[in-house]
Structure 1
Amino acid sequence: MIPRPAAGIALDLGSSGARFCLGQRRTVTVPAVSGRPVVARGRVVDAETASRLVGEMVAELKVSRAQLTVVATTPVLCGDDHREDIRTLLAGAATVVMIEGVKAAALGVGMELSQPLLVVDVGAELTEVALLAEGCVVEARRTPMGLHDRVLAAVLVEVIGDAVLELLRGDHGPQTADALDRGVLLTGGGGLRPELIYKLGSRLGAAVCPAPAPHTVSVRGAASVLQATRRHPGVSRRPFPS
Protein backbone atom coordinates (compact mmCIF):
# COMPACT_ATOMS: atom_id res chain seq x y z
CA MET A 1 0.00 0.00 0.00
CA ILE A 2 1.30 3.48 -0.88
CA PRO A 3 1.56 5.57 2.30
CA ARG A 4 -0.69 8.60 2.41
CA PRO A 5 1.10 11.97 2.70
CA ALA A 6 0.61 13.39 6.19
CA ALA A 7 -0.27 16.95 5.22
CA GLY A 8 -1.28 19.12 2.34
CA ILE A 9 -1.44 22.67 1.05
CA ALA A 10 -3.65 24.25 -1.61
CA LEU A 11 -1.93 27.14 -3.37
CA ASP A 12 -3.17 29.98 -5.58
CA LEU A 13 -0.45 32.40 -6.71
CA GLY A 14 -1.70 35.63 -8.26
CA SER A 15 -0.63 39.18 -8.95
CA SER A 16 -2.55 40.45 -5.91
CA GLY A 17 -0.83 37.97 -3.60
CA ALA A 18 -0.49 34.35 -2.57
CA ARG A 19 -3.34 32.36 -1.06
CA PHE A 20 -2.87 29.12 0.81
CA CYS A 21 -5.37 26.68 2.25
CA LEU A 22 -3.87 24.67 5.10
CA GLY A 23 -5.34 21.88 7.20
CA GLN A 24 -8.99 22.21 8.21
CA ARG A 25 -9.52 24.50 5.19
CA ARG A 26 -7.96 27.52 6.94
CA THR A 27 -7.15 30.16 4.32
CA VAL A 28 -4.05 32.34 4.61
CA THR A 29 -3.59 35.32 2.28
CA VAL A 30 -0.23 37.01 1.82
CA PRO A 31 -0.81 40.29 -0.08
CA ALA A 32 1.65 41.30 -2.78
CA VAL A 33 4.11 44.02 -1.77
CA SER A 34 3.80 47.13 -3.93
CA GLY A 35 6.57 47.21 -6.52
CA ARG A 36 7.71 43.65 -5.67
CA PRO A 37 5.20 41.22 -7.17
CA VAL A 38 5.73 37.47 -6.94
CA VAL A 39 3.54 36.92 -9.99
CA ALA A 40 2.95 39.32 -12.89
CA ARG A 41 0.49 38.69 -15.74
CA GLY A 42 0.25 35.04 -14.79
CA ARG A 43 4.01 34.37 -14.62
CA VAL A 44 6.23 33.82 -11.58
CA VAL A 45 8.69 36.75 -11.54
CA ASP A 46 10.10 36.42 -8.02
CA ALA A 47 10.78 32.73 -7.45
CA GLU A 48 12.85 33.40 -4.33
CA THR A 49 10.00 35.12 -2.48
CA ALA A 50 7.47 32.56 -3.70
CA SER A 51 9.66 29.72 -2.45
CA ARG A 52 10.08 31.45 0.91
CA LEU A 53 6.30 31.83 1.30
CA VAL A 54 5.78 28.15 0.53
CA GLY A 55 8.49 27.27 3.04
CA GLU A 56 6.77 29.32 5.73
CA MET A 57 3.49 27.49 5.15
CA VAL A 58 5.24 24.11 5.28
CA ALA A 59 6.91 25.12 8.54
CA GLU A 60 3.53 26.09 9.99
CA LEU A 61 2.27 22.57 9.27
CA LYS A 62 5.33 21.19 11.07
CA VAL A 63 6.06 18.59 8.40
CA SER A 64 8.82 18.01 5.89
CA ARG A 65 8.23 18.57 2.20
CA ALA A 66 8.66 14.85 1.64
CA GLN A 67 5.36 14.34 3.53
CA LEU A 68 3.51 17.04 1.63
CA THR A 69 0.84 17.00 -1.07
CA VAL A 70 0.33 20.32 -2.86
CA VAL A 71 -2.51 21.30 -5.19
CA ALA A 72 -1.62 24.45 -7.13
CA THR A 73 -3.79 26.49 -9.47
CA THR A 74 -2.56 27.69 -12.86
CA PRO A 75 -3.91 30.31 -15.28
CA VAL A 76 -5.73 29.06 -18.36
CA LEU A 77 -3.57 28.71 -21.46
CA CYS A 78 -0.38 28.89 -19.41
CA GLY A 79 2.65 27.26 -20.98
CA ASP A 80 4.92 24.48 -19.83
CA ASP A 81 7.40 27.07 -18.58
CA HIS A 82 4.92 28.32 -15.98
CA ARG A 83 4.13 24.78 -14.85
CA GLU A 84 7.85 24.10 -14.56
CA ASP A 85 8.24 27.25 -12.42
CA ILE A 86 5.57 25.90 -10.07
CA ARG A 87 7.20 22.47 -9.91
CA THR A 88 10.51 24.13 -9.06
CA LEU A 89 8.92 26.14 -6.24
CA LEU A 90 7.43 22.96 -4.82
CA ALA A 91 10.49 20.75 -5.31
CA GLY A 92 10.69 18.00 -2.72
CA ALA A 93 6.94 17.67 -2.17
CA ALA A 94 5.66 14.09 -2.21
CA THR A 95 2.96 14.97 -4.75
CA VAL A 96 2.17 18.07 -6.81
CA VAL A 97 -1.19 18.36 -8.56
CA MET A 98 -1.96 21.29 -10.87
CA ILE A 99 -5.43 22.46 -11.78
CA GLU A 100 -6.56 25.42 -13.84
CA GLY A 101 -7.81 28.20 -11.59
CA VAL A 102 -11.14 28.55 -13.40
CA LYS A 103 -11.93 24.89 -12.83
CA ALA A 104 -10.81 25.13 -9.21
CA ALA A 105 -13.17 28.09 -8.81
CA ALA A 106 -16.11 26.08 -10.14
CA LEU A 107 -15.27 23.28 -7.70
CA GLY A 108 -14.97 25.82 -4.90
CA VAL A 109 -18.54 26.96 -5.53
CA GLY A 110 -19.75 23.38 -5.80
CA MET A 111 -21.00 23.75 -9.38
CA GLU A 112 -22.26 20.73 -11.28
CA LEU A 113 -19.60 20.25 -13.95
CA SER A 114 -21.35 17.70 -16.14
CA GLN A 115 -23.16 20.60 -17.86
CA PRO A 116 -21.47 23.42 -19.83
CA LEU A 117 -20.32 26.27 -17.60
CA LEU A 118 -18.83 29.64 -18.50
CA VAL A 119 -16.36 31.01 -15.96
CA VAL A 120 -15.06 34.58 -16.11
CA ASP A 121 -12.15 35.35 -13.81
CA VAL A 122 -11.21 39.01 -13.47
CA GLY A 123 -8.01 39.20 -11.47
CA ALA A 124 -5.46 41.88 -10.72
CA GLU A 125 -3.57 41.58 -14.01
CA LEU A 126 -5.33 38.86 -16.01
CA THR A 127 -8.85 38.41 -17.31
CA GLU A 128 -9.78 34.84 -18.24
CA VAL A 129 -12.86 33.46 -19.96
CA ALA A 130 -13.22 29.68 -20.00
CA LEU A 131 -15.81 27.18 -21.15
CA LEU A 132 -16.00 24.02 -19.05
CA ALA A 133 -17.78 20.93 -20.32
CA GLU A 134 -17.84 17.45 -18.81
CA GLY A 135 -15.53 18.70 -16.08
CA CYS A 136 -12.80 19.94 -18.44
CA VAL A 137 -11.74 23.31 -19.83
CA VAL A 138 -12.51 22.84 -23.53
CA GLU A 139 -11.81 26.36 -24.76
CA ALA A 140 -10.56 29.58 -23.19
CA ARG A 141 -9.34 33.11 -23.80
CA ARG A 142 -7.10 35.30 -21.65
CA THR A 143 -6.14 38.97 -21.78
CA PRO A 144 -3.25 40.60 -19.87
CA MET A 145 -5.52 43.18 -18.29
CA GLY A 146 -7.12 43.36 -14.88
CA LEU A 147 -8.19 45.43 -11.91
CA HIS A 148 -4.69 46.74 -11.18
CA ASP A 149 -4.69 48.43 -14.57
CA ARG A 150 -7.40 50.78 -13.28
CA VAL A 151 -9.35 50.58 -16.51
CA LEU A 152 -13.03 51.40 -16.56
CA ALA A 153 -15.44 48.54 -15.96
CA ALA A 154 -16.80 49.17 -19.46
CA VAL A 155 -13.39 48.37 -20.96
CA LEU A 156 -13.15 45.04 -19.13
CA VAL A 157 -16.71 44.23 -20.12
CA GLU A 158 -15.89 44.77 -23.80
CA VAL A 159 -12.81 42.54 -23.51
CA ILE A 160 -14.89 39.80 -21.90
CA GLY A 161 -17.73 40.25 -24.38
CA ASP A 162 -15.35 39.89 -27.32
CA ALA A 163 -13.89 36.71 -25.80
CA VAL A 164 -17.34 35.19 -25.31
CA LEU A 165 -18.26 36.10 -28.90
CA GLU A 166 -15.15 34.25 -30.11
CA LEU A 167 -16.23 31.20 -28.13
CA LEU A 168 -19.72 31.38 -29.63
CA ARG A 169 -18.21 31.42 -33.12
CA GLY A 170 -15.80 28.57 -32.36
CA ASP A 171 -16.06 24.80 -32.42
CA HIS A 172 -17.82 24.78 -29.05
CA GLY A 173 -20.36 27.49 -29.91
CA PRO A 174 -23.46 25.42 -29.00
CA GLN A 175 -21.98 24.53 -25.60
CA THR A 176 -21.11 28.20 -25.03
CA ALA A 177 -24.71 29.16 -25.79
CA ASP A 178 -25.96 26.52 -23.34
CA ALA A 179 -23.56 27.85 -20.72
CA LEU A 180 -24.84 31.41 -21.21
CA ASP A 181 -28.38 30.16 -20.69
CA ARG A 182 -27.21 28.59 -17.45
CA GLY A 183 -25.53 31.80 -16.27
CA VAL A 184 -21.95 33.04 -15.96
CA LEU A 185 -19.83 32.35 -12.89
CA LEU A 186 -17.75 35.45 -12.06
CA THR A 187 -14.65 34.92 -9.93
CA GLY A 188 -11.58 36.86 -8.84
CA GLY A 189 -11.60 40.38 -7.49
CA GLY A 190 -13.98 41.38 -10.27
CA GLY A 191 -16.70 39.47 -8.44
CA LEU A 192 -16.55 42.16 -5.75
CA ARG A 193 -17.33 44.99 -8.20
CA PRO A 194 -21.11 45.58 -8.51
CA GLU A 195 -20.68 47.85 -11.54
CA LEU A 196 -18.76 45.15 -13.39
CA ILE A 197 -21.39 42.53 -12.53
CA TYR A 198 -24.21 44.75 -13.80
CA LYS A 199 -22.49 45.87 -17.00
CA LEU A 200 -21.32 42.35 -17.84
CA GLY A 201 -24.82 40.96 -17.44
CA SER A 202 -26.16 43.64 -19.77
CA ARG A 203 -23.42 43.04 -22.34
CA LEU A 204 -23.85 39.25 -22.41
CA GLY A 205 -27.60 39.18 -21.98
CA ALA A 206 -27.12 36.53 -19.33
CA ALA A 207 -27.25 36.17 -15.58
CA VAL A 208 -23.86 36.88 -13.99
CA CYS A 209 -23.41 35.20 -10.62
CA PRO A 210 -20.40 36.24 -8.52
CA ALA A 211 -18.94 33.40 -6.49
CA PRO A 212 -19.11 33.69 -2.70
CA ALA A 213 -15.85 35.34 -1.60
CA PRO A 214 -14.80 35.34 -5.27
CA HIS A 215 -11.19 36.34 -4.56
CA THR A 216 -10.53 33.12 -2.60
CA VAL A 217 -12.81 30.67 -4.40
CA SER A 218 -10.01 29.17 -6.53
CA VAL A 219 -7.88 28.22 -3.55
CA ARG A 220 -10.96 26.77 -1.84
CA GLY A 221 -11.59 24.63 -4.91
CA ALA A 222 -7.96 23.54 -4.91
CA ALA A 223 -8.43 22.56 -1.27
CA SER A 224 -11.35 20.31 -2.25
CA VAL A 225 -9.08 18.57 -4.76
CA LEU A 226 -6.47 18.22 -2.02
CA GLN A 227 -9.01 16.50 0.21
CA ALA A 228 -9.87 14.11 -2.63
CA THR A 229 -6.21 13.15 -3.11
CA ARG A 230 -5.84 12.47 0.59
CA ARG A 231 -9.00 10.33 0.75
CA HIS A 232 -7.99 8.42 -2.38
CA PRO A 233 -4.17 8.33 -2.60
CA GLY A 234 -4.24 6.79 -6.06
CA VAL A 235 -5.73 10.01 -7.44
CA SER A 236 -2.62 11.92 -6.41
CA ARG A 237 -0.45 9.65 -8.54
CA ARG A 238 -2.17 10.77 -11.74
CA PRO A 239 -2.35 14.20 -13.38
CA PHE A 240 -5.64 15.87 -12.44
CA PRO A 241 -7.76 16.34 -15.57
CA SER A 242 -8.14 19.91 -16.80
Structure 2
Amino acid sequence: MSTSVTTTCRDLAELLPAGQTACRLLFQECFKVGIKNIFITETYRSQERQKYLYAQGRTRPGQIVTWTLNSNHKSRLAWDIAVGPPQSLYDATTLNKVGAIAKKLGITWGGTWTDNIDRPHFEVKSTWKMPKGYKLEGQVIVPSNSKGKVQLIVEDKKEEIKVANTNWNPGSPAIKTETENYIAQAVKDGIIQASHLKDLQSGAMTTDRLLGLNITIQKRRSK
Protein backbone atom coordinates (compact mmCIF):
# COMPACT_ATOMS: atom_id res chain seq x y z
CA MET A 1 0.00 0.00 0.00
CA SER A 2 1.36 3.39 -1.02
CA THR A 3 -0.13 6.51 0.56
CA SER A 4 0.87 10.08 1.30
CA VAL A 5 2.44 10.84 4.68
CA THR A 6 -0.53 13.14 5.32
CA THR A 7 -3.03 10.29 4.84
CA THR A 8 -4.28 8.19 7.75
CA CYS A 9 -4.63 4.45 7.10
CA ARG A 10 -7.74 2.99 8.75
CA ASP A 11 -7.72 -0.33 6.92
CA LEU A 12 -7.79 -3.28 9.31
CA ALA A 13 -6.43 -5.49 6.53
CA GLU A 14 -3.12 -3.60 6.76
CA LEU A 15 -2.47 -5.14 10.19
CA LEU A 16 -0.76 -8.51 10.62
CA PRO A 17 -3.09 -11.45 11.35
CA ALA A 18 -2.50 -11.26 15.12
CA GLY A 19 -3.36 -7.55 15.08
CA GLN A 20 -6.49 -8.07 12.98
CA THR A 21 -7.79 -10.86 15.20
CA ALA A 22 -7.03 -8.99 18.43
CA CYS A 23 -8.74 -5.85 17.15
CA ARG A 24 -11.84 -7.73 16.00
CA LEU A 25 -12.03 -9.56 19.32
CA LEU A 26 -11.78 -6.27 21.21
CA PHE A 27 -14.58 -4.73 19.16
CA GLN A 28 -16.69 -7.87 19.57
CA GLU A 29 -16.37 -7.83 23.35
CA CYS A 30 -17.14 -4.10 23.40
CA PHE A 31 -20.26 -4.73 21.33
CA LYS A 32 -21.41 -7.41 23.78
CA VAL A 33 -21.39 -4.94 26.68
CA GLY A 34 -23.12 -2.20 24.69
CA ILE A 35 -20.14 -0.15 23.48
CA LYS A 36 -21.02 0.27 19.81
CA ASN A 37 -19.97 3.85 19.01
CA ILE A 38 -16.20 3.32 18.75
CA PHE A 39 -14.28 3.28 15.49
CA ILE A 40 -10.78 2.89 14.04
CA THR A 41 -8.80 6.07 13.39
CA GLU A 42 -5.46 4.54 12.36
CA THR A 43 -3.88 1.13 11.82
CA TYR A 44 -0.62 0.85 9.87
CA ARG A 45 1.68 3.88 9.85
CA SER A 46 4.82 4.06 7.74
CA GLN A 47 8.09 5.36 9.15
CA GLU A 48 7.83 8.31 6.77
CA ARG A 49 4.43 9.23 8.16
CA GLN A 50 5.74 8.83 11.71
CA LYS A 51 8.53 11.31 10.95
CA TYR A 52 5.95 13.68 9.48
CA LEU A 53 3.80 13.50 12.61
CA TYR A 54 6.80 13.83 14.91
CA ALA A 55 7.78 17.07 13.17
CA GLN A 56 4.42 18.62 14.04
CA GLY A 57 4.86 21.01 16.93
CA ARG A 58 8.63 20.82 16.56
CA THR A 59 9.88 21.76 13.10
CA ARG A 60 6.39 22.04 11.60
CA PRO A 61 3.45 24.18 12.84
CA GLY A 62 0.79 22.63 15.04
CA GLN A 63 0.42 20.88 18.37
CA ILE A 64 2.61 17.93 19.28
CA VAL A 65 0.75 14.71 18.46
CA THR A 66 3.42 12.07 19.09
CA TRP A 67 6.45 11.74 21.35
CA THR A 68 8.34 9.06 19.45
CA LEU A 69 9.92 8.30 16.10
CA ASN A 70 9.61 4.58 16.78
CA SER A 71 5.86 3.95 16.84
CA ASN A 72 4.51 0.40 17.04
CA HIS A 73 2.04 1.34 14.31
CA LYS A 74 4.75 0.60 11.76
CA SER A 75 4.90 -3.00 13.03
CA ARG A 76 1.30 -3.50 11.78
CA LEU A 77 0.28 -4.65 15.25
CA ALA A 78 -1.19 -1.42 16.65
CA TRP A 79 -4.37 0.56 16.13
CA ASP A 80 -5.99 3.74 17.44
CA ILE A 81 -9.67 4.28 18.12
CA ALA A 82 -12.02 7.16 18.84
CA VAL A 83 -15.55 7.53 20.17
CA GLY A 84 -18.56 8.51 18.12
CA PRO A 85 -21.62 10.58 19.07
CA PRO A 86 -23.13 11.34 21.49
CA GLN A 87 -19.84 11.22 23.41
CA SER A 88 -16.85 13.42 22.60
CA LEU A 89 -14.19 12.07 20.24
CA TYR A 90 -11.85 10.89 22.99
CA ASP A 91 -14.34 10.40 25.80
CA ALA A 92 -12.24 9.16 28.73
CA THR A 93 -15.05 7.15 30.32
CA THR A 94 -15.64 5.13 27.16
CA LEU A 95 -11.94 4.66 26.43
CA ASN A 96 -11.36 3.50 30.00
CA LYS A 97 -14.07 0.87 29.58
CA VAL A 98 -12.53 -0.31 26.32
CA GLY A 99 -9.11 -0.36 27.97
CA ALA A 100 -10.38 -2.57 30.78
CA ILE A 101 -11.73 -5.05 28.24
CA ALA A 102 -8.44 -4.95 26.31
CA LYS A 103 -6.46 -5.89 29.40
CA LYS A 104 -8.63 -8.99 29.88
CA LEU A 105 -7.80 -10.00 26.31
CA GLY A 106 -4.04 -9.58 26.72
CA ILE A 107 -4.04 -6.47 24.53
CA THR A 108 -1.72 -3.64 25.54
CA TRP A 109 -3.59 -0.40 26.20
CA GLY A 110 -1.84 2.97 26.06
CA GLY A 111 -3.97 4.17 28.94
CA THR A 112 -1.81 2.18 31.36
CA TRP A 113 1.45 3.80 30.28
CA THR A 114 3.00 5.95 32.99
CA ASP A 115 5.14 8.41 31.02
CA ASN A 116 2.92 9.12 28.03
CA ILE A 117 -0.69 8.06 28.55
CA ASP A 118 -2.33 7.29 25.21
CA ARG A 119 -5.91 6.10 25.83
CA PRO A 120 -6.90 5.71 22.15
CA HIS A 121 -3.94 3.37 21.47
CA PHE A 122 -3.98 -0.44 21.50
CA GLU A 123 -1.37 -2.96 20.38
CA VAL A 124 -0.29 -6.58 20.61
CA LYS A 125 2.92 -8.52 20.08
CA SER A 126 3.33 -10.80 17.08
CA THR A 127 3.10 -13.75 19.50
CA TRP A 128 -0.33 -12.70 20.84
CA LYS A 129 -2.83 -15.54 21.14
CA MET A 130 -6.54 -15.38 21.83
CA PRO A 131 -7.11 -15.98 25.56
CA LYS A 132 -8.75 -19.21 26.67
CA GLY A 133 -12.51 -18.94 26.77
CA TYR A 134 -12.77 -16.37 23.97
CA LYS A 135 -13.54 -16.75 20.28
CA LEU A 136 -14.80 -14.69 17.39
CA GLU A 137 -18.49 -15.51 17.49
CA GLY A 138 -19.39 -14.21 14.06
CA GLN A 139 -18.61 -11.46 11.58
CA VAL A 140 -17.37 -8.42 13.51
CA ILE A 141 -18.00 -5.13 11.71
CA VAL A 142 -15.27 -2.66 12.75
CA PRO A 143 -16.23 0.90 11.72
CA SER A 144 -13.63 3.28 10.32
CA ASN A 145 -15.60 6.48 10.91
CA SER A 146 -17.99 7.99 13.43
CA LYS A 147 -21.04 7.28 11.27
CA GLY A 148 -20.69 3.52 11.63
CA LYS A 149 -21.58 1.29 14.56
CA VAL A 150 -19.87 -1.83 15.78
CA GLN A 151 -21.81 -4.88 14.62
CA LEU A 152 -21.64 -8.59 15.40
CA ILE A 153 -23.40 -10.72 12.81
CA VAL A 154 -23.80 -14.24 14.15
CA GLU A 155 -24.85 -17.08 11.87
CA ASP A 156 -27.71 -19.15 13.21
CA LYS A 157 -26.37 -22.71 13.26
CA LYS A 158 -29.88 -24.08 12.74
CA GLU A 159 -30.23 -22.22 9.48
CA GLU A 160 -28.54 -24.03 6.58
CA ILE A 161 -28.47 -22.40 3.16
CA LYS A 162 -28.55 -25.35 0.74
CA VAL A 163 -28.95 -23.47 -2.55
CA ALA A 164 -27.64 -20.15 -3.76
CA ASN A 165 -29.88 -17.13 -4.14
CA THR A 166 -32.53 -18.32 -1.68
CA ASN A 167 -34.48 -15.75 0.30
CA TRP A 168 -32.59 -14.66 3.39
CA ASN A 169 -33.91 -16.11 6.63
CA PRO A 170 -32.13 -14.70 9.71
CA GLY A 171 -33.35 -17.48 11.98
CA SER A 172 -33.81 -15.20 14.98
CA PRO A 173 -35.33 -11.76 15.72
CA ALA A 174 -32.02 -10.49 17.15
CA ILE A 175 -30.08 -11.19 13.95
CA LYS A 176 -32.90 -9.68 11.86
CA THR A 177 -32.86 -6.48 13.93
CA GLU A 178 -29.05 -6.11 13.83
CA THR A 179 -28.97 -6.70 10.06
CA GLU A 180 -31.75 -4.18 9.44
CA ASN A 181 -29.93 -1.60 11.56
CA TYR A 182 -26.72 -2.25 9.62
CA ILE A 183 -28.41 -1.83 6.22
CA ALA A 184 -30.37 1.19 7.46
CA GLN A 185 -27.15 2.92 8.52
CA ALA A 186 -25.62 2.25 5.10
CA VAL A 187 -28.69 3.79 3.47
CA LYS A 188 -28.45 6.81 5.78
CA ASP A 189 -24.77 7.19 4.89
CA GLY A 190 -25.62 7.20 1.19
CA ILE A 191 -23.71 3.99 0.45
CA ILE A 192 -26.66 1.96 -0.86
CA GLN A 193 -30.21 2.73 -1.99
CA ALA A 194 -33.23 2.64 0.32
CA SER A 195 -34.85 -0.07 -1.84
CA HIS A 196 -32.43 -2.60 -0.37
CA LEU A 197 -33.73 -1.96 3.15
CA LYS A 198 -37.34 -2.27 1.95
CA ASP A 199 -36.59 -5.63 0.31
CA LEU A 200 -34.85 -6.82 3.48
CA GLN A 201 -37.82 -5.87 5.65
CA SER A 202 -40.35 -7.40 3.26
CA GLY A 203 -38.51 -10.72 2.99
CA ALA A 204 -37.56 -10.25 -0.67
CA MET A 205 -33.81 -10.08 0.06
CA THR A 206 -31.72 -13.06 -1.10
CA THR A 207 -28.66 -14.38 0.69
CA ASP A 208 -26.39 -13.69 -2.29
CA ARG A 209 -27.62 -10.12 -2.59
CA LEU A 210 -27.17 -9.47 1.13
CA LEU A 211 -23.60 -10.78 0.98
CA GLY A 212 -22.90 -8.53 -2.00
CA LEU A 213 -24.32 -5.51 -0.17
CA ASN A 214 -22.10 -6.19 2.85
CA ILE A 215 -18.99 -6.35 0.63
CA THR A 216 -19.98 -3.07 -1.03
CA ILE A 217 -20.58 -1.35 2.31
CA GLN A 218 -17.25 -2.49 3.75
CA LYS A 219 -15.29 -1.36 0.68
CA ARG A 220 -16.91 2.08 0.73
CA ARG A 221 -16.30 2.57 4.45
CA SER A 222 -12.66 1.51 4.23
CA LYS A 223 -11.83 4.29 1.78
What TM-score do you get using the length of structure 2 for normalisation? 0.28
- Which one has the largest radius of gyration? 2
TM-score (norm 1): 0.27
